[in-house]
Structure 1
Amino acid sequence: MSASAAGLPMPTPRVTPPPGVRRVAMLSVHTSPLDQPGTGDGGGLNVTVREQAVRLARRGVEVDVFTRWSDPSLPATVALADGVRVQHVQAGRIGPLDKDEMANQLCAFVLAVQRHPSAGGHDLLHAHYWLSGWVGRRLAERWRIPLVQTFHTLGVLKNATLAPGDRPEPALRLVAEERVAREADRVLVLTCGEARLLHRTYGLSGSRLTVVPAGVDLDRFRAPDVPTFEHFEEAGARPPQLLFVGRLQPLKGPDVAIRTLAEVRRRFPTTRLRIVGGASGSGQGRSGPHELRALARELGVDAAVEIEPAVDQDTLASRYRAADVVLAPSRSETFGLVALEAQACGVPVVAADVAGLEAVVGGGGTLVPGHDPADHARAVCAYLADPDLRAATATAGIQTARSASWDQTVDRLLTVYGEVAGAREELAG
């Protein structure tokens, strides 16, 4: 059956690399595409950098990813894939460094990259996160090449949506983000909501902003061959399975997930929750595994909660497929990659109605205003009680995910790269 006959989006023509862009330097200063997503500072940014770099290389663009050398067991250069090299930059001691201390090593990072054998051999810089943008401003000026910036998260948004007890982002970050936003040749945003925020906050015009959403690996994240939609009120049915995936920090709301489970069990008393992820961020110590386990005991659901460290992508896909509902109660989200992956696997998502999730969760789930566990539980119970609703939602989620492949992301990237490279040539001419 053809894609059009099946009612699926037709594949778009693949964009070829523009003539002036054959080598790209990606900056991911504070976290490496080799790191495990879901632990430490690893998350959607790591997945994005890796997927973009690998797929750019498949189109014929060589990519060097410059990241701080945080693992002394790794060599200076690691081939991630054909045409993709991860370049470990020594800024300070080789070894782990807290993200809050990273700003003190940015000058050292710039100097180390300038001394790198490949320095000056790239056609374009693409910086990920504000720390990388700070570095990118200086390198782009010295190398006289365009700078493309993706923030992933913005300090002004995080400060406006702080979880209880969380620490606000420092003034240094806010100042740096403004300067990078104003000086980059193009700022890539993950959603239209992020574009509006940058326009309101820094006055950026639409011509300097381009929406390039993250994608999903449709070969890895896919629905089970034989989906099952039991009615959990029937005798003998297996226990309902809820899933939370993400770093264990207040921003992501793992505490809301456990409180939601407690509410759900009032109606479906055998329901279980699996939490996949590791402690990270400024919330460590308030929402790490020990604190979440204590909360589960307090609520009387400890035996129904499993907390699992971050897992590789193939295992993560199997975790999605084993779940009946995925919980995404984030207090702030620039782009809900977990929600997109879950929908690709045919699993309904119950998510907080925040901008980054609102842009991703379509017919494949329910958006819940606020973070009241009772409200989230009502949405979950609707899916657990109605297998027809779950089946329809699963189908809609799969459709949503099919229109968000990483290859479509790279099509947009290459178009932007060509535009900024062409604009630089016109100015030089």
Structure 2
Amino acid sequence: MLSVHTSPLHQPGTGDAGGMNVYMVQLSRALAEQGVEVDLFTRCRGEARPLRDTLAPGVTVRHLEAGPRRPLPKEDMPSLVVPFSLALLKEERPYDLVHSHYWLSGQAGRIAAAGWRIPLVHTAHTLARVKNAALAEGDVPEPELRVRGEHQVAGSADRLIANTADEARALRELYGAGAERTEIVRPGVDLGTFAPGAGRAAARARLGLPADAFVPLYAGRIQPLKGPDVMVRAIAELLAAAPYLRGRTIVPVVGGNSGAGPRGEAWELARELGVADVLRHCPPVPQAELAQWYRAADVLLVPSRSESFGLVALEAQACGTPVLASAVGGLPTAVRDRVTGMLVRGNDPVEYARWLRWFAEHPEEAALMGRAAVRHARTMSWRAAATRTLEVYRDVLRDGRPDARTSEAGAAARSCLAGASLLEGREGRKPTLTALLG
């Protein structure tokens, strides 16, 4: 498995680490439990970690020298794809296949799969064209380089794994991916960590929250695409419509800034709207502690403008907490509307506020949703996700690659490898992803 821009060992909710990091860790562990040995390659950032780090029995995280030994913003990562790929190809160990995560890893995967003459399986996690169609006002669109790179990976990979039917449709319609090469594998949830446990009262006592508070929870990175501004405006609308709730409403915001730069817009907006006093900023926490926050909450708020799946929604439901989420991307799969939570179409804070008030005023119905949410989440385990992923692996390996040199995908990937070797051999030139993308 490849993850160029973020390590599976990074804390979700910080920097560029999020649901994809959870996905890689949990899927790798579940695959190993079914007899698959997994090496997870990422970039060495100079952290105090060994070059080989055992994540779980059968799962090793391996750090490659590619670029400076320090954290870099994701925007600088394209320049490191080819050095990462060439460092990867120096590994002598033969692999059965490459599974890349995110488009940068997909580009590295094209080169590695061609060099090793093995199949490439790719999971996009997010897609630039989908994100750009749902940008918040003032947000920066994904660059054309990424769009072109995603098109290449979609055309080259032997199999594409989509989280939902909605994502599979986007791959076909926006990127021309062949339906015969696109498989749907629903992510799972760690049912050992995320479970109702001792219940809401115990969780609140542990976290220092009042037993009678109304607690809508926001858990995730602070970035425009996740809709923190919608959350803040919805809370302002709620307290304006139901002022009696101000004295008992606490909104924990568990997560860090996305990327390298500051994201203070949500906090400034909260001050402008007069609701900063009800928001409580909490840094990203390990999974076991995050489960406590889920258990303590009345409802999880997920107002994302785009979401490939929304693992936090599934984690909260596994803890018995209903979800109020936007009806975008994979969230309609993760949340059963009107059964385990409520789905909102659009980004109208007034609509979110209306449903927040409903959760505050109908605790008995909300509790029924919470119990239904637990049952729903238990149908989506990582073991089931790994079993389905293993089916995809076996299918692509049955196809084999004896004629890969004549296939469109194989030719494209080998062209990328040849270009990298050519550029590397020129005096004074270094191979770049921009050059390989033409």
TM-score (norm 1): 0.88
- Asked if residue 339 in structure 1 is aligned to residue 313 in structure 2, the reply is yes
The AA in structure 2 aligned to 1:56 is L
Report whether the alignment pairs 1:260 with 2:234: yes
Any runs of at least 4 consecutive aligned residues in structure 1 with deviations exceeding 3 A, and if so which? 224-228, 425-428
1:261·1:272 contact (CA, 8 Å) conserved in 2?
A: no
**For residue 277 of structure 1, what is the amino acid of its counterpart?**
G
In 1, are the aligned partners of 2:200 and 2:297 still within 8 Å (CA)?
no
Is 1:147 the counterpart of 2:125 in the alignment?
no
SS at match of 2:334: coil
Looking at structure 1, the residues matched to 49 and 211 of structure 2 have their Cα atoms a distance apart, in angstroms, of: 48
User: Matches of residues 24-423 of structure 1 in structure 2 within 5 Å?
Assistant: 26-118=1-93, 121-226=94-199, 238-266=212-240, 267=242, 268-269=245-246, 270-281=248-259, 284-285=261-262, 288=263, 290-362=264-336, 363-423=339-399
Write the distance in 2 (CA, Å) between the matches of 1:334 and 1:92.
29
Would the alpha carbon gap of residues 90 and 426 (structure 1) be closer, same or farther in structure 2, given more than 3 Å must change? closer
Contact 2:200 2:296 in 1 (8 A): no
Shift of 1:426: 7.3
CA contact (8 A) 2:117 2:401 kept: no
Give SS of 1:247's match: coil
What amino acid maps onto 1:137 in structure 2?
R
Taking the aligned partners of 1:263 and 1:360, their CA distance within structure 2 comes to: 26
Task: Give 3-state SS (helix, strand or coil) of 1:182's partner.
Answer: helix
Cα distance in 1 between the residues matched to 2:199 and 2:219:
23
**Contact 1:264–1:271 (Cα < 8 Å) also in 2:** no
Can you give the 5+ residue segments of structure 1 that lack an aligned partner in the other structure? Answer: 1-25, 229-235
Shift of 1:225: 3.6
Contact 2:31 2:387 in 1 (8 A): no
Distance 2:46 2:387 in 1: 33
**Does the 8 Å contact 1:317/1:345 carry over to 2?**
yes
Q: Which moved further from structure 2: 262-271 or 413-422?
A: 262-271
Q: How far is 1:227 from its partner?
A: 5.3
* Comparing 298-307 and 262-271, the one that deviates more: 262-271
Distance in structure 1 (CA, Å) of the matches to 2:58 and 2:371: 37
Report how far residue 360 of structure 1 moved: 1.1
> In structure 2, what residue type is equivalent to 1:399?
R
Superimposed CA distance per residue, residues 326-346 of structure 1 (whole angstroms, 9 cap, x where no aligned partner): 100001101111111111111
Task: Compute the displacement of 1:226 (Å).
Answer: 4.4
- The aligned residue for residue 14 of structure 1 is none
Q: In structure 2, give the amino acid aligned to 1:414.
A: L
Question: Which structure's residues are more often helix, by fraction?
Answer: 2
- Cα offsets for 1:353-383 (capped at 9, x unmatched): 1122122110211011111111101111111
CA contact (8 A) 1:216 1:401 kept: yes
TM-superposition CA deviations, 1:11-69 (whole Å, max 9, x none): xxxxxxxxxxxxxxx00111111000011010010001111111111111111101011
Q: Per-residue deviation at 1:163? A: 1.1
2: CA distance, partners of 1:399 / 1:83: 30
- Which amino acid is 2:367 matched to? A
Q: Which runs of 5+ in 2 are unaligned?
A: 202-209, 405-438
Name the residue aligned to 1:12.
none
| Contact 2:5-2:104 within 8 A present in 1 as well | yes
How well do the aligned residues superpose, as a CA RMSD in angstroms?
A: 1.7
Q: Secondary structure at the match of 2:400?
A: helix
The answer to whether the Cα contact below 8 Å between 2:40 and 2:62 also exists between their aligned partners in 1 is yes
The CA distance in 2 between the partners of 1:226 and 1:325, in whole Å, is 14
Question: Structure 1: how far apart are the matches of 2:134 and 2:121?
Answer: 27
From the superposition, tell whether residues 308 and 71 of structure 1 become closer, same or farther in structure 2 (CA, over 3 Å).
Answer: farther
SS in structure 2 at match of 1:355: coil
Secondary structure (helix, strand or coil) at the match of 1:265 reads helix
CA distance in 2, matches of 1:190, 1:226: 30
Cα contact 1:258–1:273 (8 A) shared by 2: no
Q: 1:171: Cα distance to partner? A: 1.0
Structure 1 CA distance for aligned equivalents of residues 144 and 62 of structure 2: 30
